[in-house]
């Protein structure tokens, strides 16, 4: 099995232009003083009773100011003025994003390996390739460090996420951001068969066939195994996002038509600049 998640946000050189990535990284790493000072003030007040309430009253304005400061310092405000072809294209992406967000299951492929020997083929349900997946979620909320006036189609997988802005693809890993210019990204969408585990078939997916955990040369069940569960073969949608700079996101959707539809829209991104 080999990792197929591509370069990390720390390893990817930003290509979107401007200093947005630098601002986001600064905001993400901002140390919040509000809670720290509040806790210190509470402990100090409790230690000097009966003068504690006076300490708390005097510290309250400082704590409020620090909370407001933290909120401002930990977010980047980005206002877009999207019009013409760019507006039409981005509106289409946002409108059709529900195809992905509405799918019962989304996954990101994190590692993959080929089945090379006949024995491996026969003991892995006749599959030619094995994958490891992580649960994903799609929505229209951007990263918490970004405040903007547009909906932000996003896919989140654990501490990593990818966000589609009008002028760039934003990539996050933990508290580190990078971006990819749409002109440097490539989107491919297609439907593919996938051998699923028993009892894990999403309700919006279509089962097209079945196989067994252990198969013979002809693809039928291997009778030598008493415990040989039947495995459903599902039709899923796949969205592959790549760039020469190391971006590599392989997203699988239980709704087979969702990923190809989103890929088709991403392939039509206008080449003109978007004002911000």
Q: Where are the domains of the chain?
A: 2-26+81-266, 34-73
pLDDT at site 121: 65
Question: Which helix (H) or strand (E) is 22 found in, with range?
Answer: helix 20-28
Tokens matching residue 161? 């996420």
> 229 or 153: which carries more pLDDT confidence?
153
pLDDT at site 275: 46
| Euclidean distance between CA atoms 225 and 245, whole angstroms | 47
Note the pLDDT tens digit of each residue in 188-241: 999 999 999 888 889 999 999 998 888 887 778 878 888 888 899 999 999 999
Q: What is the mean pLDDT of residues 129-137?
A: 90
Query: Which SS3 state, helix, strand or coil, does residue 111 take?
Result: strand
Note the pLDDT tens digit of each residue in 76-131: 999 988 777 888 999 999 999 999 999 999 999 999 887 777 777 667 666 777 88
Instruction: Give yes or no for residue 74 having a pLDDT over 80.
Output: yes
Note the pLDDT tens digit of each residue in 36-55: 999 999 999 999 999 989 99
Question: Which helix (H) or strand (E) is 138 found in, with range?
Answer: strand 129-139
* Band of pLDDT at residue 252, cut at 50, 70 and 90: very high
Q: How many residues does the chain have?
A: 276
| Euclidean distance between CA atoms 4 and 7, whole angstroms | 9
Q: What is the mean pLDDT of the chain?
A: 90
Q: What is the mean pLDDT of residues 139-145?
A: 94
Tokens matching residue 83? 């019009």
pLDDT at site 224: 85
* Band of pLDDT at residue 133, cut at 50, 70 and 90: very high
Tokens matching residue 227? 């415990």
Q: What is the mean pLDDT of residues 240-251?
A: 95
pLDDT at site 180: 95
- The phi, psi pair for 204, rounded to 5°, reads -95, 5
| Euclidean distance between CA atoms 198 and 151, whole angstroms | 37
Q: Which residues of 118-142 are buried (b: 16+ CB within 10 A; e: fewer)?
A: eeebbbbbbbeeebebeebebeeeb
């Amino acid at each position: 099995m080999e990792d197929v998640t591509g370069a990390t946000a720390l390893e990817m050189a930003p290509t979107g232009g401007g200093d947005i990535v630098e601002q986001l990284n600064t905001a993400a790493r901002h140390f919040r003083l509000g809670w720290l000072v509040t806790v210190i003030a509470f402990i100090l007040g409790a230690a000097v009773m009966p003068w504690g309430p006076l300490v708390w009253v005097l510290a309250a304005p400082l704590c409020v100011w620090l909370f407001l400061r933290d909120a401002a310092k930990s977010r980047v405000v980005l206002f877009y003025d999207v019009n013409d072809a760019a507006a039409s294209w981005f509106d289409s992406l946002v409108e059709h994003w529900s195809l992905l967000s509405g799918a019962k299951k989304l996954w990101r492929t994190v590692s993959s390996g080929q089945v090379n020997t006949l024995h491996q083929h026969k003991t892995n349900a006749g599959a030619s390739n094995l994958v490891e997946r992580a649960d994903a979620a799609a929505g229209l909320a951007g990263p918490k460090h970004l405040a903007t006036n547009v909906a932000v189609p996003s896919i989140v997988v654990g501490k990593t996420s990818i966000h589609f802005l009008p002028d760039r693809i934003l990539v996050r890993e933990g508290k580190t951001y990078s971006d990819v210019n749409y002109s440097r990204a490539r989107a491919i969408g297609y439907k593919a068969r996938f051998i699923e585990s028993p009892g894990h078939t999403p309700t919006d997916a279509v089962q097209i066939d079945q196989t067994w955990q252990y198969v013979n040369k002809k693809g039928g069940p291997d009778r030598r195994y008493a415990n040989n569960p039947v495995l459903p073969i599902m039709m899923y949608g796949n969205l592959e996002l790549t760039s020469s700079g190391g971006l590599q996101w392989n997203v699988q959707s239980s709704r087979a038509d969702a990923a190809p539809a989103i890929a088709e829209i991403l392939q039509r991104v206008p080449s003109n600049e978007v004002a911000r």
